[in-house]
């Protein structure tokens, strides 16, 4: 039962802002629950774990869901159901940040189904709730009886005007040159993810150090809260250590070690290596069946598979540490062979293939209008996004059968990393909506980085004037017994057996995006810095290979890509351009085959016209110019004579009509206007002023003609 007065503790951020963590008031039937308060922002985090693991459970079934309630911002969801439904991409990304930080800290033998739910229950426009989600989740675990080698926390570190700021407010973040989310325990950094405006490796190291110091304070606050709660939090569930069958382990090693080492050191391709390992595994099981009998083999089948996989992992790790040679025969800092191609898809607005070893991305780019922008409707954010990147990872890319049922969390995460990396080099003021789609057609590690490279190539192929080409590289590390090996451009198998994997993207000038997961305790900053510098060398090498195919954006867009022009009109003409019920703008679009959008900016109307047809584009531009025509004194226009009168001629120009007085037709006296002008005749007229009484325009033809008197005087 919840208590009206909760148990609480607090700490202060480096800027003095107070953060309160309380428990015992809400959701007390959950195994752990806390509320984190930062001014008007409140997060409720709960954790529940099943009492027992399911029979034959072979993996840890952890789920982490972060969701922002619309009521927290005083809003009603804008969807058809008017309620929160599936998690948005933004919420999935925050869920992943928390998951990646906490998952490694559960005991290996704790396989009970566990669910962490974090809800934003009150929000404001100042504080970014994503920076407190992991703190809330870890605090909920800290006050529960669930075994967890924490606490941990996450902070955002941004570099703003040359200074590092921990958990900056939303408006401050808009001007940041570096934006990182850092997760750590009191002792070790666990995870880093973020983006930057071509920053240097030293900037990231410094941000991690500053973030870790702030996290230590937050972890101490969680430990204090757990002590205040008492035994419920301090006494954790017992996790039985697994019984290790040393005899079976020794038998498997004697049967498989030499064969595994031979396969691992033969520089085989992915499928040959995979099939080789599988064949050895079958041979081991067959040998044990023959030696120990069917009952023993059946009873220990799970252990045999587990011990075999651990042996295989150890063989690969020791081989790399001993020889400096990897599974595919490369040295530690060597990049796989690369080939690229652009303009592969003739009907797309831009396309590229990026192939690195056994990883391949086919990427297409589409240019659209404002109507194609993606609406982002979250509790605290509502805006339209004009840069979209989608990442697809079908089963065929790894030779597997997998139903295509929409993107999973992994696909959303990879798309986000690639998208934020490329967005940093997009030109300012680009009127187009840009959608990039990366289809991974072959995968053996680093597919998200292949997406970055292929996306950069496709942008240049499309003629988008990006500031610089962007490449990405996935790195790994094996550390054991005081030895370490940093691996450039890792394979899928190396990702699985390594102690750290991190991805770095950037231009020749600096880093635009990064993602790190560190699985080893006590990683020295010197090693991390060495890894980042090795990643830089690899990144620049990949850029060089990309430049061999295309080194700068194409001068022009594809002939079939939409052209776009902007016309600036006075705000008062917006209604006239649209017309009653949109009649005028629809008629212009239908007649010219264009797409027209109007946006009010200050006292101006920005009219964007898009079309694949140059003639239609010009026709729409002229139609809008006629409607929004604002003549100025001194301007010269081509006019058409509409009618003749004794006192002059009425002429029409840009949808306007005016009187050309007989005295302004010519320098000489004219008795009859018809002797000089004819109806339908095209003439040039100059606006020489306005009538002070009527406000009508005063036009002149003679102001544009040579004066014979002046010639005579000369």
pLDDT in tens, 571-595: 888 998 999 999 999 999 999 999 9
Instruction: Return the SS3 of 87.
Output: coil
Instruction: Give the pLDDT score at 655.
Output: 67
Segments making up each domain of the chain, as ranges: 7-234, 272-315, 338-547, 563-627, 636-713
Residue 498: which of 517, 481, 513 has the closest Cα?
A: 517
- Which stretch of 604-613, 615-624, 696-705 has the lowest confidence by average pLDDT? 696-705
The per-residue pLDDT for range 437-447, each reduced to its tens digit, is 999 999 998 89
The C-alpha atoms of residue 326 and residue 318 are separated, in whole angstroms, by: 10
Going by their DSSP bridges, the two strands 350-356 and 374-377 should be labelled as: unpaired
H helices present in 111-244, as ranges: 133-142, 170-173, 201-229, 231-234
Please state whether the peptide bond connecting residue 122 to the residue before it is cis, i.e. omega within 30 degrees of 0.
Answer: no
Q: Fold match between 7-234 and 338-547?
A: yes
> Does 208 have pLDDT greater than 90?
yes
Mean pLDDT of 79-99: 93
Instruction: Give the pLDDT score at 263.
Output: 95
- Which stretch of 40-44, 435-439, 558-562, 621-625 has the lowest confidence by average pLDDT? 621-625
Instruction: Give the pLDDT score at 651.
Output: 86
Mean pLDDT of 50-76: 93
Instruction: Return the SS3 of 560.
Output: coil
Looking at CATH, the fold of the domain delimited by 7-234 is given as Ribosomal Protein S5; domain 2 (3.30.230)
Instruction: Give the pLDDT score at 709.
Output: 65
The per-residue pLDDT for range 213-227, each reduced to its tens digit, is 999 999 999 999 999
Mean pLDDT of 427-438: 94
H helices present in 465-595, as ranges: 492-497, 525-547, 574-578, 583-592
Instruction: Give the pLDDT score at 546.
Output: 97
Looking at CATH, the fold of the domain delimited by 338-547 is given as Ribosomal Protein S5; domain 2 (3.30.230)
Query: Cα dist. 558→296, 315, 347 in Å?
Result: 67, 52, 9
Please, what CATH class does the domain formed by 563-627 belong to? Answer: alpha beta
Q: How confident is the model at residue 685 (pLDDT cuts 50, 70, 90)?
A: confident
Greater confidence, 430 or 132? 132
H helices present in 143-269, as ranges: 170-173, 201-229, 231-234, 246-264
Q: What length is written for the chain?
A: 714
The per-residue pLDDT for range 512-542, each reduced to its tens digit, is 999 999 888 778 888 889 999 999 999 999 9
Give me the phi and psi of 307, to 5 degrees please.
-65, -35
Give residue for tokens 């955002």: 156
Instruction: Give the pLDDT score at 712.
Output: 53
Instruction: Give the pLDDT score at 20.
Output: 97
> Does 335 have pLDDT greater than 90?
yes
Instruction: Give the pLDDT score at 240.
Output: 82
> Does 259 have pLDDT greater than 70?
yes
Q: Which residues contact 116 (CB under 8 A, 6 or more apart)?
A: 45, 46, 47, 62, 63, 64, 65, 98, 102, 137, 140, 141
Instruction: Give the pLDDT score at 663.
Output: 85
Instruction: Give the pLDDT score at 161.
Output: 94
Instruction: Give the pLDDT score at 627.
Output: 84
The chain-wide mean pLDDT, for the chain, equals: 92
From the number of C-beta atoms within 10 Å of its C-beta (0-12, 13-18, 19+), residue 254 rates as: exposed
The per-residue pLDDT for range 179-204, each reduced to its tens digit, is 999 999 999 999 999 999 999 999 99
Please, what CATH class does the domain formed by 636-713 belong to? Answer: mainly beta
The C-alpha atoms of residue 492 and residue 446 are separated, in whole angstroms, by: 8
Q: How confident is the model at residue 657 (pLDDT cuts 50, 70, 90)?
A: confident
Q: Are the CB atoms for 380 and 68 separated by under 8 Å?
A: yes
> Does 711 have pLDDT greater than 70?
no
Q: In what order do the strands lie in the sheet with 682-690?
A: 656-661, 648-653, 636-645, 682-690, 697-700
Instruction: Give the pLDDT score at 649.
Output: 87
The C-alpha atoms of residue 263 and residue 277 are separated, in whole angstroms, by: 7
Q: How confident is the model at residue 43 (pLDDT cuts 50, 70, 90)?
A: very high
The per-residue pLDDT for range 350-405, each reduced to its tens digit, is 999 999 999 999 999 999 998 899 999 999 999 999 999 999 999 999 999 998 88
Q: Are the CB atoms for 122 and 16 separated by under 8 Å?
A: no
Q: Are the CB atoms for 420 and 401 separated by under 8 Å?
A: no
Mean pLDDT of 558-564: 91
């Amino acid at each position: 039962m919840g208590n009206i007065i909760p148990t609480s503790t607090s700490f202060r951020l480096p800027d003095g802002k107070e953060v309160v963590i309380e428990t015992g008031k809400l959701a007390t039937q959950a195994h752990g629950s806390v509320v984190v308060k930062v001014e008007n922002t409140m997060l409720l985090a709960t954790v529940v774990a099943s009492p027992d693991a399911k029979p034959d459970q072979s993996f840890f079934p952890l789920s982490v869901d972060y969701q922002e309630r619309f009521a927290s911002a005083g809003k009603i969801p804008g969807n058809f159901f008017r309620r929160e439904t599936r998690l948005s991409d933004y919420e999935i990304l925050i869920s992943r940040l928390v998951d990646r930080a906490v998952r490694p800290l559960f005991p290996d033998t704790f396989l009970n189904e566990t669910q962490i739910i974090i809800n934003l229950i009150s929000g404001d426009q100042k504080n970014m709730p994503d920076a407190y989600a992991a703190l809330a989740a870890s605090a909920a675990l800290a006050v529960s009886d669930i075994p967890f080698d924490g606490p941990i926390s996450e902070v955002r570190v941004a570099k703003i005007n040359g200074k590092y700021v921990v958990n900056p407010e939303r408006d401050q973040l808009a001007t940041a040159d570096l934006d990182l989310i850092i997760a750590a325990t009191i002792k070790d950094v666990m995870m880093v993810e973020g983006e930057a405006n071509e920053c240097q490796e030293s900037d990231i190291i410094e941000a991690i150090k500053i973030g870790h110091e702030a996290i230590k304070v937050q972890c101490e606050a969680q430990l204090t809260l757990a002590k205040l709660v008492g035994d419920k939090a301090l006494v954790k569930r017992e996790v039985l250590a697994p019984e290790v069958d040393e005899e079976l382990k020794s038998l498997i090693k004697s049967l498989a070690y030499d064969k595994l080492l031979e396969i691992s050191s033969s520089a085989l391709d992915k499928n040959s290596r995979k099939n080789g390992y599988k064949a050895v595994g079958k041979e081991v099981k067959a040998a044990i069946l023959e030696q120990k009998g069917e009952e023993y083999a059946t009873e220990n089948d799970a252990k045999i598979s587990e011990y075999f996989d651990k042996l295989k992992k150890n063989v690969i790790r020791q081989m790399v540490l001993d020889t400096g040679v990897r599974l595919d025969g490369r040295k530690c800092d060597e990049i796989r062979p690369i080939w690229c191609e652009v303009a592969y898809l003739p009907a797309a607005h831009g396309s590229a293939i990026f192939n690195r070893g056994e990883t391949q991305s086919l990427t297409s780019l589409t240019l659209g209008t404002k109507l194609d922008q993606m609406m982002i409707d979250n509790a605290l954010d509502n805006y339209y996004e004009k840069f979209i990147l989608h990442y697809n990872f079908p089963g065929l890319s790894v030779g597997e059968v997998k139903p295509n049922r929409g993107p999973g969390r992994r696909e959303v995460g990879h798309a986000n990393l690639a998208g934020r990396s490329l967005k940093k080099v997009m030109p300012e003021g680009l009127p187009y909506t840009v959608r990039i789609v990366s289809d991974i057609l072959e995968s053996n590690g680093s597919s998200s980085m292949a997406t970055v490279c292929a996306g950069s190539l496709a942008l240049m192929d499309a003629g988008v004037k990006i500031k610089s080409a962007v490449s990405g590289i996935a790195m790994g590390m094996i550390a054991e017994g005081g030895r370490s090996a940093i691996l450039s451009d890792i394979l899928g198998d190396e990702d699985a057996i390594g102690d750290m994997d991190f991805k770095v993207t950037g231009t020749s000038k600096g880093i635009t995006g990064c993602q790190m997961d560190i699985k080893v305790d006590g990683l020295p900053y010197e090693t991390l810095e060495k890894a980042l510098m090795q990643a830089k060398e690899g990144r620049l090498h990949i850029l060089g290979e990309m430049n061999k195919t295309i080194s700068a954006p194409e001068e022009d867009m594809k002939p079939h890509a939409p052209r776009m022009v902007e016309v600036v009109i006075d705000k008062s003409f917006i209604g006239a351009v649209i017309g009653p019920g949109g009649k005028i703008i629809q008629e212009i679009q239908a007649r010219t085959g264009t797409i027209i959008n109007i946006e009010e900016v200050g006292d101006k109307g920005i009219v964007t016209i898009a079309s694949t047809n140059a003639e239609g584009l010009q026709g729409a531009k002229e139609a809008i110019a006629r409607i929004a025509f604002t003549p100025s004194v001194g301007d010269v226009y081509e006019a058409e004579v509409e009618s003749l009168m004794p006192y002059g001629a009425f002429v029409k120009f840009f949808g306007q009509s005016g009187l050309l007085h007989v005295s302004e037709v010519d320098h000489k006296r004219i008795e009859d206007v018809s002797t000089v002008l004819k109806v339908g005749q095209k003439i040039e007229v100059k606006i020489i002023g306005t009538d002070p009484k009527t406000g009508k325009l005063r036009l002149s033809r003679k102001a544009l003609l040579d004066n014979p008197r002046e010639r005579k005087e000369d």
